[in-house]
Amino acid sequence: MENKGQVSAEYLLLLVVILVIMAAVTIPLVASSVNATMDVSTSSDTKNAVQSIANAANLVYANGPGAKRTLSIYMPQTMNLTYDNNTKTINQKLGLSSQNKTISASVDYTVSFTNPTPSKGWHETQITWPTNGTNSPITVVFTT
């Protein structure tokens, strides 16, 4: 009778050792998978925000001076939007868990930001081209 109890204890001990080894292998894999998923989500949301602003700026440019467009845009993080006059793009630098990335969207005309660092969350965004001449840039104003 005592041998049967010993065999059961050995099987239980073996099962515990196997579970510990499996946990040691799978937990780091799950953590890196979660980080990669969060990076993809943040990149996608940032690209959507930047592309929405660029599309609205292009629409305002197509409508001419005096045109105005209002959008509701979700910012997945505190943004620091910049306009590059050489490439005519709106840029947002994005810090991911494994690397830094720049999200860009091209525009047809010069853009200026009244508040280029909107915080995380939803923002009403007004994109206007003032009527004081065609040389003035299209302005982007973020409000909460």
β 89-95/100-106 pair status: antiparallel
Confirm whether 22 is domain-assigned: no
Domain encompassing residue 105:
44-143
Confirm whether 75 is domain-assigned: yes
SS3 assignment, position 26: helix
Q: What is the pLDDT of residues 31-47, one digit of tens each?
A: 888 888 999 999 999 99
Confirm whether 3 is domain-assigned: no
SS3 assignment, position 93: strand
Q: What is the pLDDT of residues 102-137, one digit of tens each?
A: 999 999 999 999 888 899 999 999 999 988 766 789
Say how far residue 11 (Cα) sits from the centre of its chain: 49
- Residue 133: left if φ>0, alpha if ψ -120 to 50, beta else—which one? left
Confirm whether 24 is domain-assigned: no
The total number of structural domains in the chain stands at: 1
Confirm whether 102 is domain-assigned: yes
Confirm whether 60 is domain-assigned: yes
